[in-house]
Amino acid sequence: MYSNKNQIKSNKHYIDNRADYTLFLLVSSLMVASVIFSYSLTIYTVEYYGYSEFHFFIRQIGVVIVSILIMWTLSLINPERIVNNVGMGLFIAFFFIMAIMPFLPASVVTAAGGANRWIRLPGFSLSPVEFFKIGFIYFLSWSFHRKVIDQPKKLGLKAESLLLAPYFLTFFVVVFIVAFLQKDLGQVVLLGIILVVLLIFANRSFKIFLVLGGTALIGLVGLILAAPHRIKRIHSWWAMVQDGILSVLPSWAEQYLRIDELPEPYQVSHSLNAMHNGGFLGQGISNGDVKVGFLSEVHTDFVLAGITEEVGLLGLIFLVTIVSIIILRIFRISRRVKNPIYHLFSLGIALMIIIAFLINSYGISGMIPIKGIAVPLLSYGGSSMLAMSIAIGLVLSISREVETGNLKKKQGKKQ
């Protein structure tokens, strides 16, 4: 991947035809960190369920090895040969799988919260929505390039709505499958934000975003009211923040907004306690008290809280810095690649990482209602890790076509 130093001239720039080695190493380092924390954070879980001490460690290290190999393999292939096939293949295949999951027998699927979310495979379960997200991003990138980008920006609202109607219809179908059938509102919010941001980069007018924003707000409220478990999460979150919010509002607002007898926000409280217990330097790897029976899903949904208890604020800042550099390098690839489909796709993958990270971190800190979205590259779990390896592998393939500078200047420096 990195030994090919053939330079392809492009006007005043050159294409080095090598994948982004730094991006590959940074992503791999976070994957290795997830293996370490899958061992250190699951001390109570393995005892409670009677698993082997290395149960989660072995499973995660196997997934990480496969994921790194996937990234490496995809990075060796020129994007013209792989990106379209993989991206469109993921969109079609996993859209179909998600659509038929409610009708599959219990022996084939695994249910959570009353909805079928995983496909059972030998030795592990697969979450189709994790792979569908990558396909959805590629579908938007491919279709926007063909149908949207070159359209005049100053279209009437009706004309622009008709132009974008196929995408809205597709998204509404996705909302029905993911939010209603699989009861996973967080993933719908993530996909919705990506759709809106990619529309911005596809040169659409501001008025269409006002319409989208109003429709999305109404739809979000409707989806919350339609599901009792979502209302319960809102109540749990409001129990934690209502005093602070009401303190800055006029006194008359309290009689309308204060709700008594709300459920205690135990999970978020324990999450905050874990982060506080970590302090600046942390309790040490495999140490810490809050993760031992108080904080469930500490190796998945609440992995950032568990990590902070072990390595402290300093360690968390270090990990967040790595994630930030990864995102910046993907943005750099998106900005410098000439192919508009690759540009939008890379941008979408960066957005997917950012939004998932923010939803998770804001949720465990009580800033927004908690939502079970995995932390990219850090949470325990095969589906999320494998899907991210495909996404990053495609970005690495795209990075082979990035224009990196002026060829003459580069040659002058070598002399």
10-residue averages of pLDDT along the chain (415 residues): 46 68 96 94 85 91 96 95 95 93 83 76 86 95 79 66 80 86 86 87 71 78 78 83 83 82 79 90 88 80 92 95 97 93 95 95 88 89 94 96 59 45
351-380 residues labelled b (16+ CB within 10 A) or e (exposed) = bbbbbbbebbbebbebebbbbbbbbbbbbb
125-160 residues labelled b (16+ CB within 10 A) or e (exposed) = ebbbbbbbbbbbbbbbbbbbbeebeebeeebeeeeb
Tokens representing 36 are 């370490």
In a domain, 55, yes or no: yes
Under DSSP, the state recorded for 77 is S
Total tally of structural domains belonging to the chain: 1
CA–chain centroid gap for 49, Å, is 29
Under DSSP, the state recorded for 117 is E
Element (DSSP H or E) covering residue 332: helix 303-336
Q: Per residue in 81-133, pLDDT tens?
A: 999 999 999 999 999 999 998 888 878 888 776 667 888 887 778 899 999 99
pLDDT value of position 108: 85
Helices (H), 101-205: 128-147, 157-175, 185-201
In a domain, 406, yes or no: no
Q: What's the CA angle centered on 159, arms 155 and 161, to 5 degrees?
A: 110
In a domain, 168, yes or no: yes
Half-sphere exposure of 41 (CA within 13 A, CB side): 28
pLDDT value of position 415: 43
d(CA 404, CA 205) in angstroms, rounded, equals 32
In a domain, 408, yes or no: no
Residue 322 one-letter amino acid = I
In a domain, 405, yes or no: no
Query: How large is the angle between the packed helices 206-225 and 185-201, nearest 10 degrees?
Result: 180
In a domain, 414, yes or no: no
Which of 250, 241, 361, 246 minimizes the C-alpha distance to 306? 361
pTM of the model: 0.88
Structural domain span for residue 237 = 19-399
In a domain, 316, yes or no: yes
In a domain, 411, yes or no: no
Residues shown for the chain: 415
pLDDT value of position 91: 96
Which of 388, 389, 374, 357 minimizes the C-alpha distance to 299? 374
d(CA 161, CA 309) in angstroms, rounded, equals 49
45 touches 51 (CB < 8 A): yes
